[in-house]
Structure 1
């Protein structure tokens, strides 16, 4: 007789998230039912509620996970580049790829935002979750800046907002008219934002590899909001 091992809580959560993405992507958030998500996951509705208290919580968890995935992929591209300039291009390329292959994520975000417009509870939940995502991105940007001895062009928290706004906004425009958003557009914008800082670091390294940062230079950590 073959032993049957019950899935772990993490495995069950993974199945629910994957099923929810498929169901919400096909039917939309408002029209989809948790019973349909449960059926797609091969679970009972009770199993879904044991992991997520509501459909809203499930949607927010999906969005948070997607933002984390994009961040990890982008940071990997930055690290592989070996320098700030190429790193910016790699980050932009990863974000553009995510935008075009995962357009459903942006439709879900737009739909949930519209649903939350007249619902204070939903708006508060979406706001709090996005603050968590921005905080994660900001901390990662600060670590990168410190590791590359690079001063960010904006405080990390504001730069995180810009990155999210650019990638989400361009994704919507690309979904409406793909020809309107060329592959290199996001990279050009990021270079305009941070290219000058990268160029200054490169110039300083070439002129004197052993030189310390200028006395008046502000470290990335000093621009953190308290």
Structure 2
């Protein structure tokens, strides 16, 4: 009886490279990590790496893109189930983060990759696309939850999206620097408090 060999799909290969790259980046630093080390950590040859990405920079952009896409998908799924902002925030708080992509599981690596890309001016437009996608996601959430809460005119969704995103990144950085005084749920607690304050002010 012949044995059928199943070749990994392109998505499987990319996912393994993402996971391997995250481990190598954390161990060796993004700048010091080589393509050979990433490919070996994933169990692939150098040729397998180049069949998916032309460079380490392209791999990094792909990891950031994948992180944004997964974040958008996850949040929109939650929003479809919890259109009230308080319920949505609670669903975010209790979400299982162990199954997220490498950047979702490691805020430090996520921040390091953003800084690595931002240091080169020519790379910044690509990074800006990811920033706009994250901002649009928050703007859509603000719009949907405000409508469901009867506050259509209470907030400027675009500006609120920008403020909320800056708040999230700020708390992420603060937690990396001083985790003792910055609990893991600081961002969600802040958004919950702001939501309550806006509710009182508009009542």
TM-score when scaled to structure 1? 0.68
- 2:35 corresponds to: 34
Residue 180 of structure 1: how far off its partner (Å): 0.9
Q: How far, CA to CA, are the matches of 2:56 and 2:90 in structure 1?
A: 37
Q: How far, CA to CA, are the matches of 2:83 and 2:116 in structure 1?
A: 43
Which runs of 5 or more structure 2 residues have no equivalent in the other structure? none
Residue 3 of structure 1: how far off its partner (Å): 1.1
2:30 is paired with a residue whose SS is coil
- Superposed CA RMSD in Å reads 3.6
Q: How far, CA to CA, are the matches of 1:83 and 1:58 in structure 2?
A: 37
Q: Please give the per-residue CA displacement for 1:90-119, whole angstroms capped at 9, x wherever unaligned.
A: 43x258x78xx9787433343334434542
CA contact (8 A) 1:151 1:197 kept: no
Residue 74 of structure 1: how far off its partner (Å): 4.8
Runs of 4+ in structure 1 over 6 Å off = 101-104
CA contact (8 A) 1:78 1:88 kept: no
Q: How far, CA to CA, are the matches of 1:164 and 1:138 in structure 2?
A: 10
- 2:12 corresponds to: 11
Q: How far, CA to CA, are the matches of 2:58 and 2:10 in structure 1?
A: 17
Residue 163 of structure 1: how far off its partner (Å): 3.1
* 1:22 equivalent in alignment to 2:41: no
Query: Compared with structure 1, are the counterparts of its residues 54 and 162 closer, same or farther at alpha carbon in structure 2 (3 Å cutoff)?
Result: farther
1:26 is paired with a residue whose SS is helix
Q: How far, CA to CA, are the matches of 1:62 and 1:102 in structure 2?
A: 8
1:51 is paired with a residue whose SS is coil
TM-score when scaled to structure 2? 0.74
CA contact (8 A) 2:171 2:186 kept: no
Residue 143 of structure 1: how far off its partner (Å): 4.1
CA contact (8 A) 2:103 2:110 kept: no
Query: Compared with structure 1, are the counterparts of its residues 184 and 14 closer, same or farther at alpha carbon in structure 2 (3 Å cutoff)?
Result: closer
2:51 is paired with a residue whose SS is helix
- 2:191 corresponds to: 190
Residue 146 of structure 1: how far off its partner (Å): 4.2
- 1:48 corresponds to: 49
Query: Compared with structure 1, are the counterparts of its residues 76 and 114 closer, same or farther at alpha carbon in structure 2 (3 Å cutoff)?
Result: closer
Name which of structure 1's ranges 42-51 and 24-33 shifts more when overlaid on structure 2: 42-51
Which runs of 5 or more structure 1 residues have no equivalent in the other structure? 204-226
